[in-house]
């Protein structure tokens, strides 16, 4: 019986190693990395409705961008109709992401989490574009900060563009959430813990 238990541990350990190796090669196990604006006095763009767009150039720090968070104030706008349109353009001004979020689903005040799930190229300039559509009033206000104090790593060197005009020393109050493959040593940690668990169960 003891012999078969040892064989079971060895076989299970080999299978576990093969599974973790496959996951390592494909980068299936990831961890969330968040890059966000720093602390500074909050300012607001009163409206991105009626054709007025707010644009923020940014350079992704990692390849897999999962979520973009934008800080808004929808406490004074009508919530029955209208949408907040969020788009991402690549360096060739081609749409790589587009979504319309009903104003009724926005928080009164706070963060809007936009599920992006796009693959971008680190080092290349992309543009985040916000616009309210079909609103009966000015729509939600969009928060921004002094870029000299609070720009995230993605926003450094850029400023907002509002209705086609540059807004100096400004950065969208935002957060970028990436899915980053874990390091090789972390797979080894998983393997050790998995092996310990196998030994405890089998023996």
pLDDT per residue as tens digits for the range 72-107: 999 999 999 999 999 999 999 999 999 999 999 999
Mean pLDDT of the chain: 86
DSSP collapsed to 3 states, 112-179: EEEEEEEECCCCCCEEEEEEEECCCCCCCEEEEEEHHHHCCCCCCCCCEEECCEEECCEEECEEEEEE
Asked if 110 and 73 count as a contact pair (C-beta separation under 8 A), the reply is no
In tens, the pLDDT along 13-30 reads: 566 455 545 544 555 678
pTM: 0.80
Residues of the chain with CATH 2.60.120: 30-180
Structure tokens at 9: 């541990």
Which class is domain 30-180?
Answer: mainly beta
Please, what are the averages of pLDDT over each run of 10 residues along the chain (203 residues)?
A: 56 54 58 92 94 97 97 94 97 96 96 97 97 95 96 96 96 96 60 54 57
Which DSSP helix (H) or strand (E) runs through 100? strand 95-102
């Amino acid at each position: 019986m003891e012999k078969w238990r040892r064989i079971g541990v060895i076989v299970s350990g080999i299978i576990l190693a093969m599974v973790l190796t496959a996951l390592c090669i494909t980068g299936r196990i990831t961890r969330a990395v968040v890059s966000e604006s720093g602390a500074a006095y909050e300012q607001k763009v009163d409206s991105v409705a009626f054709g007025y767009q707010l644009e923020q150039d940014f350079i992704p720090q990692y390849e897999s961008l999962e979520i973009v968070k934008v800080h808004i104030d929808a406490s004074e706008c009508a919530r029955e109709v209208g949408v907040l349109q969020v788009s991402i353009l690549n360096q060739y001004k081609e749409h790589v992401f587009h979504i319309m979020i009903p104003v009724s689903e926005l928080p009164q005040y706070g963060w809007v989490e936009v599920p992006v799930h796009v693959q971008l190229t680190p080092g290349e300039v992309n543009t985040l574009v916000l616009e309210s559509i079909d609103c009966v009033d000015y729509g939600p206000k969009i928060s921004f900060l002094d870029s000299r104090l609070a720009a995230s790593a993605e926003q450094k060197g850029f400023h907002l563009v509002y209705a086609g005009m540059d807004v100096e020393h400004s950065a969208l109050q935002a957060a970028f959430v990436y899915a980053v493959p874990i390091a090789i040593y972390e797979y080894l940690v998983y393997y050790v813990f998995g092996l310990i668990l196998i030994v405890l169960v089998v023996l």
